[in-house]
Amino acid sequence: MSKRTVELELATPGVDASGQPLRVPLGVAEPDLAAEHMLINIGPQHPATHGVLRLVVELDGETVVRVIPHLGYLHSGFEKLGEYRHYNQIIPLTDRTDYLSPMANNVGFALAAEKLMGIAITPRCTVLRVIACEMSRIISHMVWLGTTSIDLGAFTPFLWAFQERERIYNLQEMWTGARLTTSVTRVGGMMADVPDGFVEGLRHFTRTFPKTLSEIDRVLTRNAVWVGRTQGVGVLTAAEATNHSLSGPMLRASGVAYDVRKDKPYLDYETYDFDVVVGEHGDVYDRYLVRLEECSQSNRILEQAIERLPDGPVNIADPRVILPPKSRAMNDMEAMIYHFKQVMEGVKAPVGEAYVGIENPKGELGTYLVSDGTAKPVRWRIRPPSFINLSALPRMAAGHLLSDLIAINASVDIVMGEVDR
């Protein structure tokens, strides 16, 4: 890199013998703009970073040489807070980590707490939790679809996707009272049984949702702009994806057929009839196809779950673990004492530890709980799929254009609440 020097004259405060201001000759290297790399900062406040993510990008012209992600801008101290809360008090915290699929987080935590305490849930609760997980998968993928389309220039799928979300939000609100922060599970059961009209509403949703999916498919999948911007971009091979500990659609799009629902089934997933969607090339286009098809598969699972929803109690019968029904708590002394002890002291877990990983829409969401016999966990660890998926971003983006970086960042499907916790 040759640098020419340019002669400048620097005026210093002072005068020479004749009273004229002193001038000092200074050789300064002329900047070689064609060869220097640029350092630009994207975020943390930026419409296309999907949350408060900061990317420091070294650019050679328009080509990304390196990208260094900076996290922690949404670090909320969840894991520390969990050490000061009873197990049921942690459930509302789980809503706020991955706020795009809150019910799935609730289910993941409840499963881990129940594994720790050695509790088996009722059949009705099992099917309801499957319904909750698959509804969450659909709304999470709809956000991903909408925001990725906006990033790549297509605004209409965002509105269609959010309209579908509103329909699921209505169902969630019907069940739990909240659109987003649902807190639907409790250790040993659910916060409440589904109300009348929920099953019909869900059935209606499963009948009309495929139409929206096919509309989005028609607009995007063979669209020249979409294909041109996503094919061959951000490729990760299967070996790289495994070594980077990716999970979920990121891993499956690279060709690794690993789905927690099939390989380590929970909630009787082995009895449902659905396909695992596996991609081939590991680029952004494959991730889009995988997620789109996963929505169809989730719809399929929802239809089966509605058909097989058994009657019966939704909570287990043990009043030491789950609150007794209010009518009994108001009238029966023993039930009132159980209620009091659970609310004031919490449910004590036996000494031990448990890890449960579920197939979150983003990947494998793991909950690792360590207990020392008290009602508050010693350690609540969230194994965050988005955090680990994002760590592969520098590898995927090196060598691509800046606009491809936005597409790759969108394809990772991050939610900063889970990345930073």
Identify the CA nearest to 91 among candidates 293, 287, 377, 320. 377
User: Which one of 6, 159, 225, 330 is in contact with another protein (CB under 8 A)?
Assistant: 159
DSSP state, residue 372: -
Q: Between residue 367 and residue 396, which ones bind another protein under the rule CB under 8 A?
A: 368, 370, 372, 374, 376, 378-379, 381, 383, 387-388, 390-391, 394-395
Separation of alpha carbons 172 and 170, rounded Å:
5
User: Which one of 352, 401, 402, 403 is in contact with another protein (CB under 8 A)?
Assistant: 352
Q: Is the Cβ of residue 52 or residue 127 nearer to another protein in the bound state?
A: 52
Beta partners for 116?
none
DSSP state, residue 333: H
Identify the CA nearest to 332 among candidates 344, 321, 340, 342. 340
User: Which one of 55, 64, 90, 93 is in contact with another protein (CB under 8 A)?
Assistant: 93
Only one of the segments 93-101, 216-224, 273-281, 327-335 lies at the binding site for another protein (rule: CB under 8 A); that segment is 93-101
Q: Does 417 bind another protein (CB under 8 A)?
A: yes
Q: Does 73 bind another protein (CB under 8 A)?
A: yes
Q: Does 77 bind another protein (CB under 8 A)?
A: yes
Separation of alpha carbons 416 and 197, rounded Å:
34
Separation of alpha carbons 231 and 235, rounded Å:
9
Q: Between residue 395 and residue 414, which ones bind another protein under the rule CB under 8 A?
A: 395, 398
Q: Does 302 bind another protein (CB under 8 A)?
A: no
Spell out, one character per residue from 309 to 328, where the chain touches another protein: x when CB under 8 A holds, - when not.
Answer: --------------------
Q: Between residue 29 and residue 48, which ones bind another protein under the rule CB under 8 A?
A: 37, 39, 41, 44-47
Only one of the segments 10-18, 77-85, 192-200, 269-277 lies at the binding site for another protein (rule: CB under 8 A); that segment is 77-85
Spell out, one character per residue from 111 to 140, where the chain touches another protein: x when CB under 8 A holds, - when not.
Answer: ----xx-x----------------------
3-state helix, strand, coil in the chain (%, to 5): 45, 15, 35
User: Which one of 95, 259, 404, 413 is in contact with another protein (CB under 8 A)?
Assistant: 95
Q: In what order do the strands lie in the sheet with 38-42?
A: 38-42, 54-60, 63-70
Please tell me whether residue 122 adopts helix, strand or coil conformation: coil
Q: Is the Cβ of residue 79 or residue 303 nearer to another protein in the bound state?
A: 79
Tokens coding 281: 């090339």
- Smallest gap from residue 166 Cβ to another protein (A): 5
User: Which one of 63, 181, 223, 304 is in contact with another protein (CB under 8 A)?
Assistant: 181
Spell out, one character per residue from 257 to 276, where the chain touches another protein: x when CB under 8 A holds, - when not.
Answer: -x----xx------------
Identify the CA nearest to 54 among candidates 38, 67, 43, 66. 43
User: Which one of 42, 51, 110, 322 is in contact with another protein (CB under 8 A)?
Assistant: 51
Q: Does 92 bind another protein (CB under 8 A)?
A: yes
Tokens coding 69: 């992600």
Spell out, one character per residue from 205 to 224, where the chain touches another protein: x when CB under 8 A holds, - when not.
Answer: --------------------
Mark residue 127 as left, alpha or beta (left: phi above 0; alpha: psi -120 to 50; beta: remaining): alpha
Q: Is the Cβ of residue 124 or residue 291 nearer to another protein in the bound state?
A: 291
Identify the CA nearest to 98 among candidates 111, 87, 107, 85. 107
- Smallest gap from residue 333 Cβ to another protein (A): 26
Q: Is the Cβ of residue 316 or residue 356 nearer to another protein in the bound state?
A: 356
Q: What are the residue ranges of helices labelled H in 152-268?
A: 156-176, 198-220, 224-230, 238-243, 249-253, 260-263
Q: Measured between alpha carbons, how far apart are the two ends of the chain, in Å? A: 45
Q: Does 252 bind another protein (CB under 8 A)?
A: no
Q: From residue 308, give the alpha-carbon distance in Å to each of 49, 93, 133.
A: 41, 31, 16
Size of the site for another protein (CB under 8 A): 84
- Smallest gap from residue 338 Cβ to another protein (A): 21
Q: From residue 67, give the alpha-carbon distance in Å to each of 47, 55, 235, 254.
A: 18, 6, 16, 21
Other CB atoms within 10 A of residue 361 CB:
29
Q: Does 362 bind another protein (CB under 8 A)?
A: no
- Smallest gap from residue 88 Cβ to another protein (A): 13
- Smallest gap from residue 354 Cβ to another protein (A): 4
Beta partners for 390?
none
Angle (nearest 5°) at CA 224 between 218 and 228? 125
Q: Does 341 bind another protein (CB under 8 A)?
A: no
Q: Is the Cβ of residue 314 or residue 393 nearer to another protein in the bound state?
A: 393
Separation of alpha carbons 185 and 369, rounded Å:
17
